[in-house]
Amino acid sequence: MPENPNQPKDYDAVIGGNAPAYSGLVLGGIEGVKQRFGVGDLPSHSYSIEQRIAALNDALNYGKSGLQLVIQALNDAEWHIHQAAYSLLNPYSENYVKQALLQYSSRLAKELLKCYEIGERNFQGANLSGVYLPWAVLSEANLSKANLTEAYLKQAYLSGADLSEANLSKVNLTDGELSEANLNGANLSQAYLNKANLTQATLIRANLRSADLSDANLGNTNLSEATLSWTNLSDTNLSGANLSGANLVGAKFTSLDLRGANLSGAKLTGVNLDEANLDRAYYNDETDFPIGFRAYTQLIELLQ
């Protein structure tokens, strides 16, 4: 006999010995999960976001009826609820789930901007993979740990945004405004950042391997211990940047502005510095210059 999805299971929050809560409903089975999500007589605002997300997680224990509830949550007015539903549904291969995810993805950019316009700034951990947001204004937004892989953010305005530990692999931020943004620990591998403005941004331990930073402005940025190997730095402004401990092995450029940059402990093996402006850049005994480098007279040595 098929299992009844409406019957309470071991993991249901059944109130033993007490009167049924809220309109006589028992907190068990898929009906109990719906109640804890806020479907029915009790309005959803009676529950916290955390309680409602926990209910969505529980719904996945109830087969198709549970999946339908999570799909319904994709249309929830609360950003964190429909984002949680999106993440929960991603692993499923059923056609009706895929169709629901496709419809959600098509309106994801609009949902994000709508939430931002009404004052929401916390999008931490958001799943925005492949989102199309050219010219979007998201200054001061919290996008830390967000998934923005292959997102299209050309000319987006992200000044002062928190993108720490975000996944920005293959993102298109051409001509983007990222001044004073927090990109510490972010994955920007193979990202398109040409002509972007990153002045005074922090990119400590960021991964910029094979990224395109040509014509970008990184003046006074903090790139300490960042990975810039095989990065395109043609005509990039790195004047005053902190590159201490950064890995620039194999970085490519035709000309590069490193005036006043901190190169202490930087790895520059295999980098052709002949056309770089190194005027008054700093180095120390741990700076790994390319073989044959002789232009020490332009530099200032930092003594231990």
pLDDT tier, 21 (very low <50, low <70, confident <90, very high otherwise): very low
- Note whether 234 and 252 are within 8 A (CB): yes
Give residue for tokens 């004052």: 119
Q: What pLDDT score was predicted for residue 301?
A: 94
What are 302's two structure tokens? 């930092």
pLDDT at 71: 96
- Among 3.40.50.720, 1.10.287.610, 2.160.20.80, 2.60.40.1220, name the CATH number for the domain at 121-304: 2.160.20.80
Q: Given this model, what pLDDT does residue 304 score?
A: 67
pLDDT digits (tens, 9 = 90+) for 201-217: 999 999 999 999 999 99
Look at residue 24 in the predicted model and tell me its pLDDT: 41
By percentage, how much of the chain surpasses pLDDT 90? 79
Query: Residue 272 above 90 pLDDT?
Result: no
pLDDT value of position 254 = 81
pLDDT at 303: 84
pLDDT in tens, 157-170: 999 999 999 999 99
Beta bridge mates, 283: 301
pLDDT of 7 above 60: no
Residue matched to tokens 């309680």: 51
Q: What is the pLDDT of residues 31-83, one digit of tens each?
A: 999 989 988 655 556 789 999 999 999 999 999 999 999 999 999 989 999 99
Q: What is the mean pLDDT of the chain?
A: 90
Distance from chain centroid for Cα 41: 37
DSSP 122: B
Percentage of the chain exceeding pLDDT 70: 89
Domains of the chain, residue spans: 1-120, 121-304
Q: How confident is the model at residue 10 (pLDDT cuts 50, 70, 90)?
A: low
Residue 154: closest CA among 115, 191, 113, 111: 191
pLDDT at 39: 82
The whole-number average pLDDT for the span 85-89 is 95
Nearest residue to 212 (alpha-carbon basis) of 225, 186, 230, 187: 230
CA nearest to 128, candidates 141, 228, 93, 99: 141
pLDDT at 41: 55
pLDDT of residue 258 exceeding 50, the answer is yes
Predicted local confidence at residue 16, as pLDDT: 42
Q: How confident is the model at residue 20, as a pLDDT?
A: 37
Task: Give the pLDDT of residue 4.
Answer: 52
